Structure 1
Amino acid sequence: MLVNKIMTPLSVSLRPEQPAAEAWQLIRQHKITGLPVLSPNEEIIGMVTRNDLIEWGAKVFEQNTTVADIMQSPVQTIGENDSWANAWAIHGQAFPVVNQDNRLCGFLAKTRVGCELLNKANSIQLQVDTILDSVNNGIIAIDNNGVIRLYNQAAEKMTRLPKSSAMGCHLSEVISLQGLLDVLKDGRSRKDFKLSMTYTQGNRTYLTNQSPIYENGQVVGAVAIFQDISELEFISEELDSVKQLNKKLELIIESSYDGIIITNADGMIIRANQAHERIIGIPSAKIQGQPMDYLIEKGVYTHSIVEAVLAAGEPVTVVEKDQFLITGSPVQNQEGETERIVINIRDLTELNELREQLRQTKEMSERYQDEINELRGRLLKQEGLVFNSPKMQELLQTAVRLASVDTTVLILGESGVGKDVFAKTIHNNSKRQNGPFITVNCGAIPENLLESEMFGYERGAFTGANREGKAGMFELANNGTLFLDEIGDLPISFQVKLLRAIQEKEVLRVGGSKPKPINVRILAATNRNLETMVKEGQFREDLYFRINVVPLNICPLRERKEDIIPLACTFIQKYEKKYGIRKRVSPRVYDALLNYYWPGNVRELDNMMERLLVTTADDEISVEHLPAHVFENLEDKQPEVYVKGIMPLKNAVLEVERQLISTAIKECGSANRAAQALKVDQSTIVRKISRLKQSGLAL
């Protein structure tokens, strides 16, 4: 019951400077009792109601009378997610409604709240009456004068007096229940009080609980609840004897060292003792109420002893799994029908129990191993990691192992091979996975800004500095991972400062005087040969040895051709989903991709697949759509013909000719161009097409 369910959404409001007459017109036009007044910055500063305008009378229509003269200020607002009860408790007759951003979103009249609360109260009262009439217990409530105010249908049956005749009458005129009147006097409850009543059909006994009704600390009434216990009284003595018998039976069953199960004729388990729980390891409470087939499904037993006993009509003994000796005995009634089956289970040997435990342990170990392999497979195929080559599988397994230790890793490889993907994989599988992952492109930051960007600066450190200062990349990566991409592009003058931050695990902001401790794991990457740079004096040797704790060398795409087609398919699917475009890819395109050198590696393949998808007008991407540079090194290469089975040589020749001619015409657009591509005369193409048709081989 929230305010936003009953409020009037507002699309208009008032300004203080508006004429009062306009406020009157807007309130009449929108048929509401008032409108809020907003300041220039959209804050609610007042309220004008219909009553306010009426009180001003004719002055409202004078030109110099403005909304500011009439409005009530300050004004109480209410949130759209407040309850109706809160709205009713607020002083006033109308309130602006604001949203979570404290902006005006509606209007609420208190009369509307009252109507809704009244309707809800009537609905609750109806529900209460329905509930009270549906219970089997009689309920009678009186006020502090002893007059009946509540009287349900069960009370009608008990007193033999209709509700219409009892309501409004004094309790003594309806039922002799002096105890309830005493509750009014002393305010004390009376529990488990028995009441006997005589009817033409005989005596009935009721158990009644009587309690006072308090309001503001004063007794304002009393209520009595009646339960017919005549039948319970009648069978109480028999119940006591049954309890005693059942207790003895329980002691006998539980004292047995062997497991005991009792079922009905349908094989439903009624009882199982603690010994059976000890033998099979399943709580007795869990199997009670279950059929015997439940234990068969759980693998405890392989056959149903119940079915065997019902079929034989006499006790049956079987050996289960060379471990259990099971005897089932029928319990028959006077008519000779089987009503119960008592099953006795004896554990034969401790050796079999140990053998079973060993088997279960082995199965558990195999299951855990399968789960580990499955988790490893999921990890190696997470988003951004698509590969088939053994080199990449071994590299990913190494990266996952490195993730578990907090060592520095130097990721090497050509541009575009996916060094950043490996860095994220190491971070996401490390103990720092919930911490930040900050990437810094060392070659993209100007040299004069490197120190302030990496280490941050204090307030007023230099002209144009942020007034509050700024945290550097090391501080942002605290308790997480800092990925220094293209670290080989760092100026040599800054390398010594970076080395100190890594070694000392603290940074000093520009303009600061006190170092800040940091807890950061360093991952670095470069496409340059750092060893050569060290020899040439372009990279500090001590920094090189500090970051090159564990090198991870990612091979280029041309050295793992097994990954080219899976990557291409993945990129096609990604951009089909992104742009809502669907294209087929010719098999010859994949052949061309496999033979290309890929100087830009995975990044180049990604860009090429996106370009082909969005620029190709046909439904199929063919080799003619590929960029010309893909074929620069393929002039001397001839396509291979694959034969997958044995067939007559004549048929094989015809099939090859059909495929070549069909592909050439489809890609070249005409028989003449196809002949040029196949280096034969056009008449030869026409003649071969005719021969293919005669042989039943359509293009």
Structure 2
Amino acid sequence: ETISLPLLFQIIGEPIALVKDKQEEIIGYIRREDVLVELFKQENRHSFDLLKIILTSIPMGIFVVDQERKIVNCNDSGIKMMKTIREDVINKSAKTLFNSEHIDTVFSSNETILNELEITDKTSVLVDYSPITNFNQKVEGVLIIVQDLPMVEKMAMEIEHIKNLNKDLNAILSTIYDEILVVNNKGELIRYSDSFISEFWRRDLKDFIGKNLIDLEDKGLFSPSVTRLVIEHKKKVSIVQETDNGKKILAVGNPIFDEKGKIERIIIASRDITETTKLKTELREIKKITNQYKQELDTFKSKNKVFEKLIYCSSKMERVVEQINKISNFSSTVLISGESGVGKEVIAQAIHQLGSRSNQPFLKLNCGAIPENLLESELFGYTQGSFTGADKNGKVGYFKKADQGILFLDEIG
């Protein structure tokens, strides 16, 4: 078909031409040789002008050979690469510059010959031979495309460098424990690492190449979709995905933006945490049981310390100790009576040590040694300036100091 002139052809250093519309959006591609051959076959002025522009701008050398094997047109790049001048080329036999056998083969077989290395005393080039055919597929000429070897070598080195980078990337991906997915801005899977969670996908991941991962959430395979959340929020997202078969997957999605700030790719790293979650739950239960055992052990230790101080053998003392064990875990006011020196403070300490408040304060206040007018301030404290001679910073009372613990009021009578 005739090539539409409003389209812009961007000829690049590969054997294709990208086709763009007026908005600079790529809408397809066509072989480089086919573009030029088609233009050569058109005879209108617009095509001629466009052909002239293309010939001038193309970095490769272009030579057009007619049926008489003469060069009828070429560009400046071709002249420079072949180290000659236009006067020595135009309307001269192409066989003086290029391989005559290849030219004859193209005319006879209507086939393209690519990547022929041709080295002379003056030049070292890579040459492509393409037929120019009419509507009846009869060869009317040959299009010869020349590339300078240093340029080709540079391209080859760049390709080799890219191949090495690709090998390194694949090696890195194959050693990563996490599952790595590469998704485009539409949510479609492009590629994945060797380590993928088969129980999560339930199929080979290659079956999902080109498929939209957001649709899998709608189908109930898992929830929520990290791809959808990254596209919606346009930032890094970390979530725990749950499947309908009970799998738990920690998924981290990182957006990759282009120069315009739009999402170009999404890199998703996923890890199966089903067993980890189960182990955490079991560990939490074990810690709970361990704490219970620790509390019981601490209680036994406290009892041993208490009973080391309590030395008795009478049945009455046995009943007292039983009462201590009963009341020690309750917030009750306890009255301990007895003559001076019988060990009332030891009993109070035993209640403190055997109870659940053993790690809280135990304070003793000898009420008999405090004047009556100071008892209130000692028990309840006072603020600054409450009375003459009061501490300027105030004072906290014994009830406040012993909060959550035990206050032993000795000689309360």
What is the TM-score normalised by the length of structure 2?
0.34
Q: Which has the higher contact order (CA 8 A, sep 6+)?
A: 2
Q: Which has the larger share of strand? A: 2
What is the TM-score normalised by the length of structure 1?
0.22
Q: Which has the larger share of helix? A: 1
